[in-house]
A and B are shown apart, each in its own frame.
Chain A
Amino acid sequence: MFNKLEWYKPNLAETVNMLERLYYDALNRQGGNVTFRALPPSDVDFYSTFDLRKYNYDTDITRYAEDLCILLHNSYCKRRLLDDNMLPTISPALGIGDYSAFVTGEIDFRQDTSWSQPSLKEVDDWKHLPPLGTSKWYQRFLVICEEMLKISAGSGIPFIRGFFSPLDLAGALRGEELYYDFYDNPDELHELLNYCADATIKFADDIYDLADKYLRDSKYGLFYTKGIINMSEDIACMISGTLYREFCRPHTQKVIDHFGVGHLHTHSRAMYLVKEICSLNNVANLWLATDPNAPKPIEHIEQLVDDANGVCLAIDCEHFTEIKNNFYKLKKGNFSITLPVKNIEEAIEFTEKFKILR
């Protein structure tokens, strides 16, 4: 089904070199790298056509994997002339419910996403859960990963999987009660977060072992998994820097330390946390998604350069002129800039304009 990775990305080696240098410099707190990604609708549209409800996840996993791989292939075909910083990747898409259901609970599938329900009524109820790795969705998710890897391995396309941070996982398992736990049950909350860190480490290790089994002989197949953990820090947007330092930092750091390097994600409404997150050890990349009704990262570049201290910030903008006008400032740090565009032609046009800028 898939072609070789090189077919989708004509300047593959150059793109990988650019990304390697970006992350190397980020880890060494050296600025000077600005890379560009164009985001045509075809990069994301297919998710809305992928109806998660039409599969029986006991019996249809092969069909699910094939259908998703076809959509990914079609999407990557459309951008194959685009010489931006984006590498095609393979990853399951089951909404957000599976991000915690691998520990416990069910997934409630909707057309284009999924949900989970909080399952820990008390903060220490995790102590009564069956051993990690035994839940239905843990095992099912590994089967899904393996099916996708069987289809894609020959292409050498990198496998990628993101995870909830320990705080996000605890938030999904505890629901709103988590916010009271900071004040009512601080010691027990630390225990829960430590459990969530262990759960993430085990789950990611098992997924990465599968990726390694199928992709170890490929040149770039493990680009996003070998020594790297991708995690979201979404719940962090709801809490103060003080609580982040006390409750989240040690557990997120534990997961990063297990794998080596952290690629993290949070939102622009938590701009005040960029300094906290980027001061974690061995964070190479922080994807700072722009929220409506919140500050736009591109309008705060000088502050972000200071706060990130070399960590690559993946941010988006609305207009190419924002990149052009801020390019000098951006070069003081490390940035990966995403620009939504109307179509592939416009994507090519702006990618070429960016090369001139660079």
Chain B
Amino acid sequence: MILENISLSLQRGKAKEVKMQVQAALDSGVSPQYILNCGLIHGMNVIGGKFKNNEVFVPEVLVAARAMNAGLEILRPILVQTGIRPIGRAIICTVKGDLHDIGKNLVKMMLEGQAIDCIDLGVDVDSDEIIAAIKEHNPDLVCLSALLTTTMIEQKVIIENIEKAGLRDKVKIMVGGAPVTEAFAKEIKADAFSPDAASAAETAVQMLTKQVDDDV
């Protein structure tokens, strides 16, 4: 019941309630992993599904993600103590020439909602910064956002430069943004495309868990 309440409070964007309920769940002996999976991530999955179906929209996703973070503030140190790790690490940015950040931020929140560690490089980011970040942070996934037909071409440039830098085999690359299509993603040799933030998180989880399976 308490986990269901956490999930519902998160879906309603009630950050203070989520924080209190997560603490109450811990106090009553529920494992942090269980709270994460069946409370917080469950809630974000419901929100993600509704977002894909046009049942909720950007403001509702943002307040839900904020509530998720409020719960994670309590949970994160305990998860770290108990040795529970994120399922992967992603670098995310909006590409050079493009200053739109809402789509990128939504994807970041959805990824974090799936326990993926995110390093946000911000907007207007070029190949050099991304390559430096790959070398520094050793991510599993690079997510490139573009909202303009004039800037989506930069996704291709970045993928080519990652290849030239000899890093292409080390990361999966996902592209997205309003003008980006699956055909374009294939043409520029991205590993994945997603039409919305919720799908991006689903695809990322599939890629990261497959990668773990392959590594095993």
Contacts and interface: CB of A to CB of B under 8 A. Distances in A.
A110 B56 CA distance: 34
Interface string B57-73: 11110110010000000
Interface in B107-135: none
Interface residues of A, number: 20
Q: Is the interface of B mostly helix, strand, loop or mixed?
A: loop
Interface stretch (A62-70, A178-186, A216-224, A307-315): A178-186
Nearest to A236: B57
B127 to A, nearest CB: 18
A176 B102 contact: yes
B13 A183 contact: yes
Interface of A: 48, 108, 110, 112-113, 115, 176, 179-180, 182-183, 238-240, 243, 269, 272, 291-293
How many chain B residues sit at the interface, stated as a range, is: 20 to 34
Contacts of B79: none
B145 to A, nearest CB: 13
B57 A113 contact: no
Interface of B: 13, 54, 56-60, 62-63, 66, 97, 99, 101-102, 105, 148, 150, 178-181, 195-196
A113 B150 contact: yes
- Across chains A and B, which 5 residue pairs bring their CB atoms closest together, nearest first? A238-B58, A293-B195, A179-B59, A182-B59, A115-B99
Given A176-B102, A183-B63, A272 B54 contact: yes
19 contacts: A48-B150, A112-B150, A113-B148, A113-B150, A176-B102, A176-B105, A179-B62, A180-B59, A183-B13, A238-B58, A238-B59, A239-B57, A240-B56, A240-B57, A243-B59, A291-B178, A292-B180, A293-B178, A293-B180
Given A238-B57, A243-B59, 4 more contacts: A183-B59, A238-B59, A292-B179, A292-B181
Contacts of B150: 48, 112-113
Contact of B66 (A180, A272, A292): A180
Contact of B59 (A239, A269, A292): A239
A68 B63 CA distance: 44
B97 A110 contact: yes
A113 B151 CA distance: 11
A357 B118 CA distance: 55
